[in-house]
Amino acid sequence: MRRQLYWPSLPTDMLLAAAGALGAFAPAALAKTASMKPSEWAFHVFGFVADEKQAAILDCPDPRVILLTSRQVGKSTIAALRALYIAVHQPKSLIFMVAPIETQAGEILQKLKEFAEQLGFPLRGDGNNPRSLQLPNGSRIVARSSIARSVRGFSKASLIIVDEAAFVSTAAYRALSPILAVSQGKLWALSTPYGHNNMFAQIWHDPGNGWARFQIRASECPRLPADFLAAELRLHGELSYAQEYDCQFVSHGLQMLTREQVTAALVDQAPVPPFGLQEKTEHYYGLDLGKRQDHTALVVVELTWEYGPKNAATQALALHPKLTVRQAPRLPLDTETVSIPGFVRAAVQQYAPRYEGPKTNGTLLIDATGNGHTVVELMRRENHGLRLNPVCISSGRTAKHLKDSYLSIPRSDLLMRLKLLFERKLIKIERTAPGAEILQRELIHFETAGHQQEHDDLVMALALATWQATTDHPSLLGLPENPTVYPHRRLI
């Protein structure tokens, strides 16, 4: 006897006959199940008993849902059930399933087909897409790869499911979003984590973007035995286990900084030095000149001092330097070169000393690599009151002086000093500073090899400013200060 899986009030054979005759689903039966939540419908129709988290995900009404999971916790089953629920109750709807490889998207479609087959629906395609299913009410489920050009041309989707979303390119997300514009459909992103440098990680770590967040670790899934997980930990090691089973975003060694290091550097307000140390405050300006597809970026770093512990022998107080990013503005693309001096002047004037206030010092480093010589000459004509150091970034090993007061600085040295400052927690970013949000994103995505999808203009401008700061004050890197910052007192 065939199991009555769909509408128990009617025999399944009679329901299918009626549906086939009308070319649609029985309205009375649809009305009965449409009032059910998706988790209730899944139990009513298939006998699927969802645990607490699965039920919350299935029933989530939010238009944007991100699901961070361990491997093998049933995320594809949940996605297939939600997709079929929408396809059944919204006639002529389009359900779009994408994954890095089309066969991966086809796995969710296959699970959906298995559920549809239990209902007795004919497993036929839509006639246009090789991996697809069309229901008798005109709803279509289509599986495609996440290559941006392969998803263009679709419209009015009721639901888009992005499987293995951490491996999907940013370009694919941009191509998918317009498909939901008219229909006001839902977007689900499902994945295990895969480092920090992808759109999935960016969505997950942005608490204010309006996405509903769900997380399922392997230890929370009753279907994964503890002895199996212990064997996986022994076999693959802690880092692999943390990513595959514990929902941790593990850096793959490509990024210069971890997200945690950048987040830890954020402060609500720049430190205010004690009155006696305010005159020692310095400002370092790093200017990275834009090319055709890059911005001209300026980062202002403020160096302040604070008192440390007292020397028991001399009774002198040690002084410790700290750096804070106060500004990180960028010029729009294709900005005229002649406007750059004014752009820098506006930033410098904000930190000019008041008439009655202490005098502050400033140094400007300009990335003059390539065609930057013109900007250097324009800046030299400016009466900006800054010590000006033109820089050529090289692939060498040591910094050296060039003619006409230019400096040659190895790129590796620039980045290593910046990395050390974050590791030593001696650099902070004022959260409300202009451009701080963009700088934070660039730092998180920045790769030493320069293969990141984000711009790196602000990162390089910051590296220039901090290079000069660490040159003037080696104690920022843990080296002896020259001259020493400890006051000497002669003992009698």
pLDDT tens, N- to C-terminus, the chain (492 residues): 333 333 333 344 434 443 443 344 555 566 677 788 999 999 988 999 988 889 999 999 999 999 999 988 888 999 999 999 999 999 999 999 999 888 888 889 999 999 999 888 889 998 888 899 999 999 999 998 888 777 777 888 999 999 999 999 888 888 888 888 888 899 999 999 987 778 898 899 888 888 999 999 998 888 888 999 999 888 888 878 888 899 888 766 567 888 889 999 999 999 888 888 888 899 999 999 987 677 899 999 999 999 888 877 877 888 889 999 999 999 988 888 888 989 998 888 888 766 554 455 689 999 988 778 888 888 888 777 788 999 999 888 888 888 888 999 999 999 999 999 999 999 999 999 999 999 998 898 888 876 666 678 999 999 999 999 999 999 998 888 765 444 544 444
413 and 270 in a single domain? The answer is yes
**Domain holding 268: CATH number?**
3.30.420.280
The 10 Å Cβ neighbour count of residue 12 is: 18
348 domain residue, yes or no = yes
19 domain residue, yes or no = no
204 and 121 in a single domain? The answer is yes
Most distant CA atoms of the chain, gap in Å: 110
The alpha carbons of the chain give a radius of gyration, in whole angstroms, of 30
156 and 292 in a single domain? The answer is no
Whether the model pTM is above 0.75: no
225 and 268 in a single domain? The answer is no
Single out the residue in 244, 277, 299 at which a domain terminates: 244
451 and 320 in a single domain? The answer is yes
The 10 Å Cβ neighbour count of residue 196 is: 24
Single out the residue in 186, 213, 244 at which a domain terminates: 244
361 and 439 in a single domain? The answer is yes
221 domain residue, yes or no = yes
272 and 401 in a single domain? The answer is yes
254 domain residue, yes or no = no
3 domain residue, yes or no = no
482 domain residue, yes or no = no
**Domain holding 149: CATH number?**
3.40.50.300
Categorise residue 405: left if φ over 0, alpha if ψ from -120 to 50, beta otherwise. Answer: left
Give residue for tokens 């060498």: 396
437 and 365 in a single domain? The answer is yes
Instruction: Answer for the pair 429, 325: CB distance below 8 angstroms, yes or no.
Output: yes
Instruction: Answer for the pair 393, 367: CB distance below 8 angstroms, yes or no.
Output: yes
21 domain residue, yes or no = no
CA 370 to chain centroid, in Å, comes to 31
251 domain residue, yes or no = no
231 and 303 in a single domain? The answer is no
CA 54 to chain centroid, in Å, comes to 26
Distance CA 421, CA 428 (A): 9
DSSP 220-286: G-TTS-HHHHHHHHHHH-HHHHHHHTS------S-BSS-HHHHHHTEESS-----GGGGGG-EEEEE
Number of domains making up the chain: 2
43 and 170 in a single domain? The answer is yes
Domain with 198, as residue range(s), is: 36-244
153 and 112 in a single domain? The answer is yes
Assigned token pair, 1: 């006897």
201 and 336 in a single domain? The answer is no
